[in-house]
Structure 1
Amino acid sequence: MANPDVQIFPHATGLAAAIVAKHQEPQDLVYYAGWFCPYVQRGWIALEEKGIKYQYKEVNPYRKERHFLDINPKGLVPAVVYKGKAIYESLIICEFLEDAYPDQNPLLPSDPTSRAIARVWIDHVSKAIIPAFQRLLQAQEKEKQDEAREELYIALRKFANEVQGPYFLGDEFSLVDVAIAPWIVRDYVVHENRGFTREAVSDAWVKYAGTVEKRESVVKTQSERRHLDGIYGRYLRNGAQSEAAKAVRAGRDIP
């Protein structure tokens, strides 16, 4: 049976399309992306926040084309080619951008202890928040949905309790905010289809999420919602064939 995910809309739209158009000239750094992917949006936000010169190239990761598998053998977006060398995994890319462009709008604190604390909460996003979000998205039975929703509330509440405000580390937008932003702007899916509300997390979460979703780099790396609806419809039916979806169905960690 053909994989329906292969037939996704082929390019970014709306504000994101305008950003893509500005980043077509060859650069030392090439960003291989899928406009629809939250992990892609992470790296894209970091690139925009740091003001890095990059070339944007759209890839459909479901097609597993040879040229892209040579860059990332997993076939997943995002990936970067920097001066001929390939790098992949969204958070590794974000850390790489910090290392390669240390003087351009740093997204991590200079103090080692504060950097470590930031990484602790980035890890919480990866290991607690995103898996709970994904399980809620794909759960079919009401009991499973209720369990996943409560798990997500607990993980978000724990995060929100540590927000220094207005952003996670205080006044400065950081890599912690980058790590979670794509799931904040996609929570309308679980709100409309799985009974999730920001208010049920906490007042602190409502305030924080509302601040992050309005950040310019977050807003302008989003495409039109209408092109996401079909993609998330497959997740809501638990029929998506992404590696994340397959991992959730198998009870494995999200790759």
Structure 2
Amino acid sequence: MSGKGDSGRSYHLKCTGDALNTAQSHSGPKDLTLFGSCFCPFVQRVWVALEYLGIDYESSCYDDKAQPAAPNLRDLALIRLQADHVNRTLIPAFYRYLQAQDEEQQIEGGKEFMSALDGLVKLFERSDAETETNIGLWKESGQLGLADVMAGPWIFRATNVLAHYRGFSVPEGERFQAYVERLVNHPAFKKTCSTKDLYLESYER
């Protein structure tokens, strides 16, 4: 590589040759979209695999239409903090609350679970303030993210199982309630949900 400074030359926004023909043949909307820069080797190896396996996809590698911003290392670190909080704090608090037998334990369990939810919200708000990523449903226009997937099953069960057996109510904050609505109604999440009675009967003891 040359030791010279930046030449100021702009990157190519469209692929060329055979790659352009291939990309244009995958220009229609599909369930799977390949995003990436036309010169990126990491994109190319995924592209080769898609072609080899015959998986249908839409390619964005031939034009300059808007592409979602990839998370940087700081974004990823905050997402990991969210996921870690779910595993270490939210999920254990859910089960302690649900399994508590006497009234005092249930009251303490409810407080602990609410505190865990509040901690998750604070991490979401921190990411909102410190990053520009659109990953995560906490943002109104965000995409389903890792923390959503990890927390979703327990937040969903809080709305039915904990509501039924412990009288739990989703926190009243408008933004949190909107987040829960986006989460439980996201197509990928909703497709995995059973009817309410299944959950109530499964947790009945």
Is the 8 Å Cα contact of residues 164 and 200 (structure 2) preserved in structure 1? no
1:113-162 Cα distance to aligned partner (Å, 9 max, x none): 21111011100011111111111111111100000100111110121232
The one-letter code matched in structure 1 to 2:167 is G
Q: CA deviation at 1:109?
A: 4.8
2:178 is the counterpart of 1:178 = no
Give the match for residue 194 of structure 1: 166
Normalising by structure 1, report the TM-score.
Answer: 0.46
Is the 8 Å Cα contact of residues 168 and 176 (structure 1) preserved in structure 2? no
- How many angstroms apart in 1 are the aligned matches of 2:190 and 2:120? 22
1:24-74 Cα distance to aligned partner (Å, 9 max, x none): xxxxxxxxxxxxxxxxxxxxxxxxxx96xxxxxxxxxxxxxxxxxxxxxxx
**Number of aligned residues:** 135
- How many angstroms apart in 2 are the aligned matches of 1:127 and 1:223? 26
Is the 8 Å Cα contact of residues 189 and 232 (structure 1) preserved in structure 2? yes
Percent of residue pairs bearing the same amino acid type: 28
Alpha-carbon RMSD? 3.2
Is the 8 Å Cα contact of residues 109 and 115 (structure 1) preserved in structure 2? no
Change over 3 Å in CA distance of 1:149–1:109 after alignment to 2: farther
Structure exhibiting the larger radius of gyration computed from Cα positions:
2
- How many angstroms apart in 2 are the aligned matches of 1:150 and 1:204? 20
| Structure 1 runs not aligned, ≥5 long | 1-49, 52-100, 235-255
Normalising by structure 2, report the TM-score.
Answer: 0.57
Is the 8 Å Cα contact of residues 181 and 213 (structure 1) preserved in structure 2? yes
- How many angstroms apart in 2 are the aligned matches of 1:225 and 1:192? 10
Is the 8 Å Cα contact of residues 167 and 174 (structure 1) preserved in structure 2? yes
- How many angstroms apart in 2 are the aligned matches of 1:154 and 1:230? 27
Give the match for residue 187 of structure 2: 216
Among residues 137, 142, 148, which one is paired with 1:167 in the alignment? 137
Among residues 113, 120, 126, which one is paired with 2:87 in the alignment? 126
1:67-100 Cα distance to aligned partner (Å, 9 max, x none): xxxxxxxxxxxxxxxxxxxxxxxxxxxxxxxxxx
Is the 8 Å Cα contact of residues 167 and 208 (structure 1) preserved in structure 2? yes
- How many angstroms apart in 1 are the aligned matches of 2:197 and 2:179? 26
2:104 is the counterpart of 1:143 = yes
Give the match for residue 113 of structure 2: 152
2:167 is the counterpart of 1:206 = no
Is the 8 Å Cα contact of residues 160 and 204 (structure 1) preserved in structure 2? no
- How many angstroms apart in 2 are the aligned matches of 1:109 and 1:148? 38
Q: Counting helix residues as a fraction of each chain, which structure ranks higher?
A: 2
The one-letter code matched in structure 2 to 1:216 is P
Give the match for residue 65 of structure 2: none
Using CA pairs under 8 Å that are at least 6 residues apart, name the structure with larger relative contact order, 1 or 2. Answer: 1
The one-letter code matched in structure 2 to 1:118 is I
| Structure 2 runs not aligned, ≥5 long | 1-30, 33-45, 51-56, 58-68, 129-133
1:209-251 Cα distance to aligned partner (Å, 9 max, x none): 12111100111111223233221103xxxxxxxxxxxxxxxxx
Q: Counting strand residues as a fraction of each chain, which structure ranks higher?
A: 1
